[in-house]
């Protein structure tokens, strides 16, 4: 929002620029700039608002995070997996699958409605003050919570919201926001444990950012009802359209891009409780493949295949758990189809190009990454 780029900072001199930031912090004259609102598509439809701070504010937030994260990390419940050092989403996926296979099949599949945008500032500041006595740091955190949000106005220019009058929200996109979101969600995770819901209902709670599932041996409806009451007390609400109770032995549910639930072996037809890439995850990777292999892409093939392989390898690394061969086959087939059409148009081949650009050629001499060649470990599952 201040128009300052990395090139401007290098031109001014990095050391000089950092010294000016340090002096502003020391003298308490530092004030955050408005964050720039950007809307990105959500996997389930609609748009997700992000608040992008300036370079200066991101640098200061990063410095604060280095100090604050070890302090608050010690307090976070082990059931939280999002945005934590040494933890990854795949660990949460494995934990959900293990619990399901261990008989925790009554599932609360929940989503907090607009979590980042509705965290109450006053209650969040209380959570921060329980561990922080440094008033300057608390003031700094409050300044970031009260930073105005700028977005394009319908008639041109910018429209501002938030600011000093704002009482809720920590914009997604800020460096410090994930820590603040984890800290406030920790209230729910801690009371869940202290009130003994895990013991009373044989419940295993797995949380990632604003998403969580509770896998119970029994009493999932009661767990959901109690959770709903606690979130209301926290000033939050569950998204009722995305929150439900299901029987994991007979119904599927989706968490962190994976679908969990009953699946059937194609070879002998027996049922098992599995985990596999969700249909939406396959649809999203197809969209990214389509974008790279669009007809208007005039980049050299070496750059095209490098971009394509980077996306495919990243997807394969994340979706490397559970039953995934069918998803891999679907993505491989789509890659071949799109690559064949892309190359046929580029080289003006009059035929469909199935011989000149066969799957062996595309995944062989043309260097496209093939998911089925990716290491396939034995799928994790359990008989029902």
320, pLDDT greater than 50: yes
pLDDT value for 185 = 97
pLDDT reported for residue 378: 41
φ and ψ at residue 67, rounded to 5 degrees: -85, -45
What percent of the chain is modeled with pLDDT above 90?
Answer: 78
Q: Considering only residues 154 and 369, tell me which one the structure prediction assigns the higher pLDDT.
A: 369
Read off the pLDDT of each residue in 103-114 and give the average, rounded to a whole number. Answer: 95
* Residue 101 near residue 382, CB atoms below 8 Å: yes
According to the model, what pLDDT value does residue 244 have?
Answer: 96
Beta-carbon contacts of 140 under 8 Å, excluding residues fewer than 6 positions away, are 25, 30, 60, 64
The mean pLDDT value for 348-361 works out to: 90
Per DSSP bridges, beta strands 47-52 and 158-162 are unpaired
pLDDT, mean over the chain: 92
* Distance between CA atoms of residues 205 and 220, nearest Å: 11
- Describe the crossing of helices 135-145 and 55-73 by its angle, rounded to 10 degrees: 120
> What is the pTM for the complete model shown?
0.89
Please give the Cα distance from 177 to 132 (Å, whole number): 17
Q: List the one residue out of 272, 92, 274, 72 whose CA is nearest residue 178.
A: 72
The single-letter DSSP state of residue 157 is S
Sheet of 271-277: strand order equals 253-255, 258-264, 271-277, 382-383
Please, what sign has the CA dihedral across residues 165, 167, 173, 177? positive
* pLDDT confidence tier of residue 375, bands split at 50, 70 and 90: low
The answer to whether residue 6 scores a pLDDT higher than 70 is yes
pLDDT value at residue 46: 66
Cβ distance 105 to 247 under 8 Å? yes
* pLDDT band for position 43 (cuts 50, 70, 90): low
Q: What strands, in cross-sheet order, belong to the sheet with 211-216?
A: 204-208, 211-216, 106-111, 244-247
Longest dimension (CA), the chain: 73
pLDDT (0 to 100) of residue 154: 78
Q: Backbone phi, then psi, for 320, in 5-degree steps?
A: -110, 20
377, pLDDT greater than 70: no
Give the angle subtended at the CA of 108 by the CAs of 107 and 113, to the nearest 5°. Answer: 155
Report residue 300 as tokens: 């050299």
Closest Cα partner for 139 from 149, 120, 118, 125?
Answer: 125
Q: Are 341 and 281 in contact (CB under 8 A)?
A: no
Q: Percentage of the chain with pLDDT > 70?
A: 95
Tell me what the mean pLDDT of segment 340-347 comes to.
94
Those residues with Cβ within 8 angstroms of residue 346's Cβ, 6 or more apart along the chain or in another chain: 301
Average pLDDT over residues 296-315: 96
Backbone angles phi, psi at 172, to 5 degrees: -65, 140
């Amino acid at each position: 929002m201040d128009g300052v780029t990395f090139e401007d900072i290098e031109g001014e001199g990095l050391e000089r620029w950092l010294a000016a930031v340090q002096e502003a912090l020391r003298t308490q004259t530092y004030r955050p700039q408005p964050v720039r609102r950007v809307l990105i598509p959500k996997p389930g439809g609609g748009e997700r608002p992000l608040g992008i701070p300036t370079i200066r504010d991101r640098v200061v937030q990063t410095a604060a995070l280095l100090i604050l994260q070890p302090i608050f990390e010690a307090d976070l419940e082990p059931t939280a997996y999002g945005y934590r050092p040494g933890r990854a989403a795949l660990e949460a996926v494995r934990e959900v699958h293990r619990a399901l296979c261990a008989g925790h099949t009554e599932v609360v599949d929940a989503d907090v409605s607009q979590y980042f945008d509705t965290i109450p500032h006053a209650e969040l500041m209380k959570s921060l003050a329980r561990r922080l006595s440094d008033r300057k740091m608390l003031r700094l955190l409050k300044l970031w919570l009260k930073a105005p949000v700028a977005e394009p106005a319908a008639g041109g220019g910018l429209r501002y919201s938030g600011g000093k009058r704002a009482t809720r929200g920590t914009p997604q996109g800020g460096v410090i926001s994930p820590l603040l979101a984890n800290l406030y969600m920790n209230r729910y995770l801690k009371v869940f444990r202290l009130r003994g819901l895990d013991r009373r209902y044989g419940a295993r709670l797995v949380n990632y950012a604003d998403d969580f599932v509770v896998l119970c041996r029994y009493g999932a409806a009661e767990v959901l009802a109690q959770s709903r009451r606690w979130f209301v007390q926290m000033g939050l609400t569950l998204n009722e359209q995305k929150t439900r109770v299901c029987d994991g032995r007979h119904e599927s549910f989706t968490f962190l891009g994976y679908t969990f639930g009953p699946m059937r072996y194609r070879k002998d037809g027996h049922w098992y409780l599995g985990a596999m890439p969700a249909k939406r995850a396959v649809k999203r990777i197809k969209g990214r493949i389509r974008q790279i292999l669009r007809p208007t892409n005039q980049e050299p093939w070496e750059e095209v295949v490098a971009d394509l392989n980077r996306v495919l390898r990243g997807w394969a690394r994340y979706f490397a758990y559970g039953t995934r061969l069918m998803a891999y086959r679907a993505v491989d087939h789509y890659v071949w189809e799109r690559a064949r059409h892309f190359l046929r148009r580029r080289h003006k081949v009059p035929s469909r190009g199935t011989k000149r650009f066969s799957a062996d050629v595309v995944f062989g001499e043309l260097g496209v990454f093939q998911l089925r060649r990716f290491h396939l470990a034995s799928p994790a599952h359990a008989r029902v």
